């Protein structure tokens, strides 16, 4: 397998000697599902200055976000494979040899490993790997891989304070390499969803996989339904565990009161129907779905995970309950459905908090600053050395 020399990639520092043509940047993403990581990457690429950067998207699995990326005029390549494995590594390497980007930015666990490895083999000058899950769920093997890949790293991004602390404390990366860039939400794009009286609609959003704990939302709803019989639970999302969730709904006799919508394209419309939003995940980085619900001005109930606690100040911008205590989550929902003044106060504070601290423009400008700093450092680095940037952002 031949190697591409770093000199094959056009890379110069910005400033007086900046190239006239935009810098090629490849974003490698695990899938193109309508999920939080993909949404964040879309927001970043949507606002990336095309006179300075020319983005290209590579994905290992297709999904509903593909057309949205294409609508931006961005080329999208799908590497077809049933599992992300060595064949994907080879295909990704070939695609990078064809595109010849100066920067590779990977998003998602599998893309972080295989995409970053392909970029290193192709000798891409700058490699950014974006990890958008809670760092605490990493096993020993994954941590060992992170430590190995971190040897190529000049900067590490975490999208939450607790993720940054985790990587520092575990010795994977420390300052001055460690940087925190939090998710961005366009709060102005979400309509406030406050009502004078509750209709009893509870909702949650997320991919139906083990780490999202949709069953906890169902059990919390069971507690709510015992006190407010007309209440409904609506779930947006899909995934491998949908069949199990449907079986639980039938077993509990909730077929008419619990609605599974699948992936929802107009999330604003979905959230606008809710009275209360619940977030039942036991592990989170910085949950995009919760941020969107808060941006809608919804009163929210979440488990007291480190990621959720960075968004919800208990009793001020929402309610936090101990992790795994479904009955406590149900009781908190009941309190918000019955006390609309409390729900309105928390929802208003949540919307203001997101608008003040999690703007998209801030997120984009911080990424651009990182790209430019890495390009400047790479241009001054001897050819045999490779520059890598690892973005360890949580979901």
Token digits of residue 366: 């911080």
- Specify the higher pLDDT residue, 80 or 294: 294
Contacts of 91 (CB under 8 A, 6+ apart): 79, 81
Looking at residue 4, what is its pLDDT? 43
* CA-closest candidate to residue 211, choices 26, 52, 395: 395
**Confidence category of residue 59, pLDDT binned at 50, 70, 90:** very high
**Confidence category of residue 202, pLDDT binned at 50, 70, 90:** very high
Please spell the DSSP secondary structure of 341-384, one letter per residue: HHHHHHHHHHHHHHHHH--HHHHHHHHHHHHHHHHHHHHTS-TT
CA-based radius of gyration for the chain: 22
Percent of the chain whose predicted confidence (pLDDT) is above 70: 88
Looking at residue 20, what is its pLDDT? 67
Whether the per-residue pLDDT at 357 is higher than 50: the answer is yes
For 158, phi then psi, to 5°, come to: -115, 145
* Dihedral sign from CA coordinates of 36, 391, 282, 195: negative
Cα pseudo-dihedral 301, 306, 311, 314, rounded to 10 = 50
- Specify the higher pLDDT residue, 65 or 193: 65
* CA-closest candidate to residue 290, choices 199, 216, 358, 188: 358
- Could you report the per-residue pLDDT of 12-24, keeping only the tens digit for each? 555 555 556 899 9
Average pLDDT over every residue of 31-38: 86
- Specify the higher pLDDT residue, 103 or 172: 103
Question: For residue 73, is it left (φ>0), alpha (ψ between -120 and 50) or beta?
Answer: left
Q: In Å, what is the CA distance from 40 to each residue of 114, 130, 169, 284, 361?
A: 20, 11, 26, 15, 12
- Sorted by where each begins, the domain ranges of the chain are 6-184+359-391, 187-357
- Per the CB < 8 A criterion, the answer to whether 227 and 337 are in contact is no
Domain 6-184+359-391 sits in CATH at 3.40.50.2000
For 153, phi then psi, to 5°, come to: -100, 135
Query: What is d(CA 32, CA 44) in angstroms, rounded to the nearest whole number?
Result: 15
With b for 16 or more beta-carbon neighbours within 10 A and e for fewer, the 129-142 pattern comes to bbbbbbbbebeeeb
Looking at residue 113, what is its pLDDT? 83
Domain 187-357, second-level architecture: 3-Layer(aba) Sandwich (3.40)
Comparing 6-184+359-391 with 187-357, is the CATH topology the same? Answer: yes
- Per the CB < 8 A criterion, the answer to whether 257 and 226 are in contact is no
- Could you report the per-residue pLDDT of 245-303, keeping only the tens digit for each? 999 999 999 999 999 999 888 888 999 999 999 999 998 888 999 999 999 999 999 99
Contacts of 326 (CB under 8 A, 6+ apart): 216, 219, 220, 222, 223, 280
Looking at residue 128, what is its pLDDT? 83
Residue 114: its H or E element: none
- Specify the higher pLDDT residue, 70 or 137: 70
- Could you report the per-residue pLDDT of 138-184, keeping only the tens digit for each? 778 888 888 887 777 677 778 888 888 888 888 887 787 788 889 99
């Amino acid at each position: 397998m031949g190697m591409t020399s770093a000199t094959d990639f056009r890379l110069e520092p910005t400033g007086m000697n900046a190239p006239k043509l935009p810098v090629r940047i490849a974003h490698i993403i695990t899938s193109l599902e309508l999920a939080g990581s993909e949404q964040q990457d879309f927001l970043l690429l949507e606002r990336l200055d095309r006179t300075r950067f020319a983005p290209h998207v590579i994905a290992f699995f297709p999904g509903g976000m593909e057309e949205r990326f294409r609508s931006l005029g961005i080329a999208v390549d799908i590497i077809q494979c049933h599992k992300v494995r060595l064949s994907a590594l080879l295909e990704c390497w070939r695609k990078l040899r064809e595109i010849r980007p100066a920067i590779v930015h990977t998003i998602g666990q599998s893309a972080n490993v295989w995409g970053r490895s392909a970029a290193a083999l192709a000798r891409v000058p700058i490699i950014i790997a974006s990890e958008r899950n809670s760092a605490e769920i990493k096993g020993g093997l994954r941590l060992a891989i992170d430590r190995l890949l971190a040897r190529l790293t000049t900067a590490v991004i975490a999208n939450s304070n607790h993720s940054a602390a985790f990587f520092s404390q575990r010795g994977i990366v420390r300052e001055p390499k460690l940087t925190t860039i939090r998710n961005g939400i366009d709060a102005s794009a979400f309509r406030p969803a406050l009502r004078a009286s509750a209709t009893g609609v509870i909702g949650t959003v997320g991919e139906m996989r083990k780490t999202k704990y949709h069953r906890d939302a169902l059990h919390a709803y069971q507690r709510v339904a015992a006190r407010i019989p007309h209440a409904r639970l609506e779930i947006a999302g899909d995934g491998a565990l949908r069949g199990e969730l449907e079986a639980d709904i039938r077993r509990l006799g909730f077929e008419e009161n619990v609605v599974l919508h699948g992936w929802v394209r107009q999330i604003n419309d979905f959230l606008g129907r809710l009275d209360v939003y619940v977030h039942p995940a036991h592990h989170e980085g910085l949950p995009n779905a919760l941020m969107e619900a808060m941006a809608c001005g919804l009163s929210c109930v979440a488990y007291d995970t480190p990621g959720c606690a960075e968004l919800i100040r208990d009793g001020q911008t929402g309610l936090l309950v101990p992790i795994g205590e479904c009955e406590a989550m149900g009781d908190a929902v009941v309190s918000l459905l019955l006390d609309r003044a409390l729900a309105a106060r928390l929802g208003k504070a949540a919307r203001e908090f997101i608008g003040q601290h999690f703007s998209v423009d801030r997120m984009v400008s911080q990424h651009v600053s990182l790209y430019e700093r890495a390009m400047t450092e790479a241009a001054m680095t001897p050819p045999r050395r490779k520059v890598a940037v690892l973005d360890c952002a949580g979901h």
